[in-house]
């Protein structure tokens, strides 16, 4: 093709992409803190609360539980009469709708089966509420209220249950249709959920839980939106613009993005080698949140931001390659976590770093056998160009040293081996500090965003030996998740560090692809570090 024709073609494609990008709505959170509903708490009696739908939990399909047992006789009688007919199934999340039942101001009462009373938990409540929310969102009700079960006697249990059900409700309501010309949404969507309790002290616990849950869900929604966007829209520059918009939302948040020239001056040869095959310039996005004391060392979150990964010269198979737009879920989770922290104004210092690039095949792309020099001065032999995430992360981890961090956590969809090892339920965790690892494991367990620690020792380092450079970027077929972390460990020796491999947990097949994980895990850790929860 003549040079002038090729140049015209490039210009035409750029104009077309820019025109399409201009039609994509602003994905920075909007009203209601970026959630689909408003979440409130109220100290009130259930029978006197006016709502379009009151939700009451029932055990084993027939046992009313302590909350219903405490209702006035007239209200309790109508509920017991409905349960006696046996129309509510015993299975968890079974529902029975009552219209205008005597003794209630509510227009409707939805009886919701919570399963067996002896095994009742916050997780089961959240799961049942997902079903209730899905039902009501397709119904005519615009607002609803849940009488919080009194089975949660401990305030920490009540807090965790309430926060969990808010997150679960948002999971159910989330949809991504930003790129569709026609939106298939309910005509009268559910807009408000109120948690009811007659106990004022308990109401304060629920209020904090709702506030935290809404912020976490909002951060997850941002992470999902960014991850679900196609690669021609969500580019490194788009991520950088998103970070800047977040920075303008809070006086405590400062956002910057280093250009390729600035990274070149810093010696980030590993990161820049990945973007050589792309026409999209790489970005190093930095978000600094100052909520703690001035001299308090920050927690640094480093999120892999590969906005599309074709594998480079080591090209991936074409089947399901479209899902490689999710290779930036680590970076998306960092942005979502920073947003949630700013929304809650947590008293902690936090830094988010997102190295962002594309990995595409091109005449200038990395080739197997190439050797690059990292910011740390270590040389790396690139044996597989599809092992690019660790190349952009290693320079970002070196850059993190300048913040004198209390701890550094990197989050990355790094290895398919992690999916084989742990499936889609549990994130992989490796660390050079036992206390930090235990902190993350505990946080994940508490907020139902679990991780599992894998071993990492010198025996695995031998797999990364190179004949021609300080390191090879892959360690062979065995222990792929571990050797990837061992590679990163070479750049984290000056601070406490943990690595979360979220390749199996950041997204899933189906119509709701991105999950927003591990925003909950990270937020639970930060809430505890900032002493906002016990």
Q: Which domains are seen in the chain, by residue range?
A: 32-176+187-216 (3.40.220.10), 229-529 (3.40.630.10)
- Rounded distance between C-alpha atoms, residue 440 and residue 450, angstroms: 9
Residue 34, pLDDT score: 67
Q: Which of 79-93, 372-386, 497-511 has the highest mean pLDDT?
A: 372-386
Q: What is the mean pLDDT of residues 309-319?
A: 96
- Rounded distance between C-alpha atoms, residue 272 and residue 291, angstroms: 32
Residue 509, pLDDT score: 72
pLDDT at 277 over 90: yes
% of the chain at pLDDT higher than 90: 83
By annotation, the residues acting in catalysis are: 316, 390
- Rounded distance between C-alpha atoms, residue 465 and residue 471, angstroms: 6
Average pLDDT, the chain: 92
pLDDT at 13 over 90: no
What would the pLDDT profile of 415-437 be if each residue is shown by its tens digit?
999 999 999 999 999 999 999 99
Residue 444, pLDDT score: 98
pLDDT: which is higher, 57 or 8: 57
Residue 177, pLDDT score: 87
311: confidence class by pLDDT, cuts 50, 70, 90: very high
356: confidence class by pLDDT, cuts 50, 70, 90: very high
Q: What is the mean pLDDT of residues 227-251?
A: 97
Residue 186, pLDDT score: 77
For helices 236-249 and 329-344, the axis angle rounded to 10 degrees is 10
Tokens representing 353 are 């770093």
pLDDT at 32 over 70: no
Helix (H) or strand (E) holding 95: strand 95-99
pLDDT: which is higher, 65 or 307: 307
pLDDT at 231 over 80: yes
Residue 3, pLDDT score: 39
Q: What is the mean pLDDT of residues 282-288?
A: 98
Burial pattern 435-448, b for ≥16 Cβ within 10 A else e, equals ebbebbbebbebbb
Ranges 180-189, 250-259, 438-447: which has the least confidence: 180-189
């Amino acid at each position: 093709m003549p040079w002038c024709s090729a140049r015209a073609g490039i210009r035409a494609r750029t104009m077309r992409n820019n025109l399409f990008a201009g039609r994509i709505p602003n994905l920075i959170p909007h009203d209601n803190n970026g959630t689909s509903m408003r979440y409130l708490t109220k100290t009130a009696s259930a029978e006197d609360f006016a709502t379009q739908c009151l939700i009451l939990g029932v055990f084993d399909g027939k046992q009313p539980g302590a909350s219903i047992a405490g209702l006035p006789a007239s209200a309790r009688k109508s509920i017991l009469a409905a349960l006696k007919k046996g129309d509510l199934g015993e299975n968890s999340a079974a529902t029975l709708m009552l219209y205008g039942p005597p003794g209630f101001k509510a227009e409707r009462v939805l009886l919701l089966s919570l399963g067996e009373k002896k095994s009742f938990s916050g997780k089961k409540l959240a799961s049942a509420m997902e079903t209730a929310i899905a039902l009501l969102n397709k119904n005519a009700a615009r607002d609803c209220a849940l009488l919080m079960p009194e089975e949660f006697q401990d305030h920490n249990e009540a807090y965790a249950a309430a926060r969990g059900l808010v997150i679960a409700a948002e999971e159910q309501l989330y949809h991504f249709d930003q790129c569709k010309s026609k939106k298939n949404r309910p005509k009268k969507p559910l807009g408000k959920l109120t948690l009811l309790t007659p106990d004022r002290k308990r109401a304060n616990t629920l209020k904090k839980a709702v506030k935290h849950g809404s912020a976490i869900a909002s951060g997850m929604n941002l992470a999902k939106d960014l991850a679900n966007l196609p690669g021609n829209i969500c580019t490194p520059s788009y991520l950088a613009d998103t970070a800047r918009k977040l920075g303008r939302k809070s006086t405590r948040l400062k956002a910057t993005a280093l250009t390729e020239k600035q990274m070149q001056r810093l010696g980030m040869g590993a990161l820049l080698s990945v973007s050589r095959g792309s026409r999209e310039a790489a970005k190093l996005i930095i978000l600094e949140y100052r909520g703690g004391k001035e001299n308090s060392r920050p927690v640094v979150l480093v999120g892999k931001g590969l906005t599309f990964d074709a594998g480079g010269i080591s090209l991936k198979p074409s089947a399901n390659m479209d899902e490689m737009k999710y290779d930036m879920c680590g970076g998306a989770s960092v942005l979502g976590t920073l947003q949630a922290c700013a929304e809650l104004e947590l008293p902690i210092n936090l830094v988010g770093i997102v190295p962002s690039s594309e990995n595409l095949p091109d005449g200038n792309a990395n080739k197997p056998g190439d050797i690059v020099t990292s910011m740390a001065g270590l040389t790396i032999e690139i044996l597989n160009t599809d092992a690019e995430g660790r190349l952009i992360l290693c320079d970002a981890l070196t850059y993190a040293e300048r913040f004198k961090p209390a701890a550094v956590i990197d989050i990355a969809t790094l290895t398919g081996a992690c999916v084989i090892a742990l499936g889609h339920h549990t994130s992989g965790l490796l660390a050079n500090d036992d206390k930090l690892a235990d902190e993350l494991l505990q946080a994940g367990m508490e907020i139902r965003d679990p991780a599992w620690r894998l071993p990492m020792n010198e025996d695995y380092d031998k797999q990364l030996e190179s004949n021609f450079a300080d390191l090879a970027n892959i360690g062979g077929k065995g222990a792929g998740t571990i050797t990837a972390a061992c590679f990163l460990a070479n750049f984290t020796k000056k601070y406490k560090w943990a690595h979360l491999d979220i390749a199996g947990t950041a997204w899933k097949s189906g119509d709701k692809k991105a999950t927003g994980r591990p925003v909950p895990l990270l937020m639970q850790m930060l809430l505890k570090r900032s002493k906002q929860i016990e």
